[in-house]
Amino acid sequence: MIDIFYQYVEQDTRINHLFPGDFAETSRKQKQFLTQFLGGPSLYTDEHGHPMLRARHLPFTIGPNEKDAWLENMYKAAHEVHMDSDVRDYLLTRLTLTAEHMVNAEY
């Protein structure tokens, strides 16, 4: 799902500028984070330290438009892969809360 998500993001001019560098590396880190975020092993923390999501995203302007674009791409990716609908709903609810927390600018 994350690889599909970043394919969408790479093509999305509303937010692709927020992801400097290699999308493969960004995807790898996102997979580590989500594994940990959803109760799995602490892959992200072990390699990169505490996630500190909001602090790590402060250098980027993230307003409602960027949040909505991020969520739109995540929703598309989540519906493109085969997963139980209850699991998908749970995941998207958690990611929506996280995306809302990342907003650091209002227009």
- Reported as a single tens digit per residue, the pLDDT across 51-78 is 999 999 999 999 999 999 999 999 999 9
Sign for the CA dihedral angle at 14, 18, 24, 27 comes to negative
Tokens at 6, concatenated: 């970043």
73's torsion region: left (phi>0), alpha (psi -120 to 50) or beta?
alpha
37 residue type, one letter: F
Residue pair 36/51 in contact (Cβ under 8 Å)? The answer is yes
- Reported as a single tens digit per residue, the pLDDT across 87-104 is 999 999 999 999 999 999
- Angle (CA) 55-60-62 rounded to 5° is 95
Domain at 2-9+20-102: CATH architecture: Orthogonal Bundle (1.10)
Model confidence, pTM: 0.92
Spatial separation of the C-alpha atoms in residues 3 and 30, rounded to whole Å:
10
